[in-house]
Amino acid sequence: MTPSHIAFIMDGNGRWAERRHLPRKYGHKMGTKTLERVVDLAAKYGVKTVTFYAFSTENWSRPQAEIDYLFTIFRIFLDEIDKYKDKDVRIRFIGNLTKLPDDIVAACDKMVAETMSNDALTVVIALNYGSWEEIASAVNTLIESGKKDVDKQDIVDALYTREIPFPDLVVRTGGEVRLSNFLLLQSAYSELIFTDILWPDFDEKAFCSVLEEYSSRERKYGGLK
Ligand code: FPP
């Protein structure tokens, strides 16, 4: 079975660059190329949704120069709407966008609006995303709505991921074995794959081996099979 939704933790950009005695920003630049490659691979192999963890609520503690460079990369990505329109790709963002620079917020809104009716593939970009912040935001939404009794569906509908199916598979590159505050509720029953491959090196062979590993897993959702 091909997973319908894969979520990626794109780790290892910095180390990829450092191993080549290059500034870390080259790792992020190459990481952007990998993101584009994975979008094409997802479409090629019939995956319907891909989510990428591009900037976490914890990434603000990185050096300002690195944050500024990441924002430069995001601006370039946001400027390339036509590329995604041509591929019939719908773009969504999750995270607390209000904390980002105004021009980025406006460009995100524009990209979402202009790709809304595309349906070959949905690409979800997590920007200033963290599960704890998302849950706090959902709780505040529910309080504001005046609800006195909340069920699972109310929570699902108040998360940034509303209308996006939960990931079948979460893949983390770069060798670390943790979820780092990413889609903690949504991945409750996701399969998890951790690979040592650094994100800029994640190619078609790596993508296919992840699909193969997923198809060998038996999903039980807490029951017996
Ligand atoms: C983690 O690697 C990666 C990030 C914090 C940034 C990911 C962002 C991109 C790949 C840019 C592409 C995004 C878009 C939306 C175009 P790291 O720097 O922590 O690597 P390290 O663990 O080797 O230091």
Residue 65, classed as helix, strand or coil, is helix
Note the pLDDT of residue 72: 98
Where helices occur in 97-148 by DSSP H, the ranges are: 102-115, 131-144
Where helices occur in 10-101 by DSSP H, the ranges are: 13-18, 24-44, 64-79, 81-86
For the chain, the residue count is 225
Atom of ligand 1 nearest to the CA of 34: 10
Query: Is residue 125 lining ligand 1, measured as CB closer than 6 Å?
Result: yes
Atom of ligand 1 nearest to the CA of 16: 23
Note the pLDDT of residue 66: 95
pLDDT by residue, tens only, the chain of 225 residues: 999 999 999 999 999 999 999 999 999 999 999 999 999 999 999 999 999 999 999 999 999 999 999 999 999 999 999 999 999 999 999 999 999 999 999 999 999 999 999 999 999 999 999 999 999 999 999 999 999 999 999 999 999 999 999 999 999 999 999 999 999 999 999 999 999 999 999 999 999 999 999 999 977 788 876
Note the pLDDT of residue 225: 65
Query: Is residue 28 lining ligand 1, measured as CB closer than 6 Å?
Result: yes
Tokens of 187: 């991945």
Query: Is residue 133 lining ligand 1, measured as CB closer than 6 Å?
Result: no
| Beta pairing, strands 191-194 & 49-56 | unpaired
Please indicate whether residue 181 is annotated as part of the active site: no
167-172-173-177 Cα dihedral, nearest 10 degrees: -160
**C-alpha distance from residue 72 to each of 29, 34, 65, 103, 171 (Å):** 10, 17, 10, 11, 25
Which residue minimizes the CA distance to atom 6 of ligand 1?
Answer: 54
* Residues 36-81 pLDDT 10s: 999 999 999 999 999 999 999 999 999 999 999 999 999 999 999 9
Q: How many Å lie between the centroid of ligand 1 and the Cα of residue 119?
A: 27
Report the candidate in 48, 40, 99 with the shortest Cα–Cα distance to residue 71. Answer: 99
Query: Is residue 124 lining ligand 1, measured as CB closer than 6 Å?
Result: no
Query: Is residue 173 lining ligand 1, measured as CB closer than 6 Å?
Result: no
Q: What backbone phi and psi angles, to 5 degrees, belong to 122? A: -105, 125
Give me the CATH topology for the region 5-130+167-215.
Undecaprenyl pyrophosphate synthetase (3.40.1180)
The single residue listed with the structure tokens 């690979």 is 195
Q: Where are the domains of the chain?
A: 5-130+167-215
In 121-131, which positions are buried (b, 16+ CB within 10 angstroms) versus exposed (e)? bbbbbbbbbbb
Q: How many Å lie between the centroid of ligand 1 and the Cα of residue 94?
A: 16
Please indicate whether residue 11 is annotated as part of the active site: yes
Note the pLDDT of residue 221: 80
Q: How many Å lie between the centroid of ligand 1 and the Cα of residue 169?
A: 19
Note the pLDDT of residue 222: 82
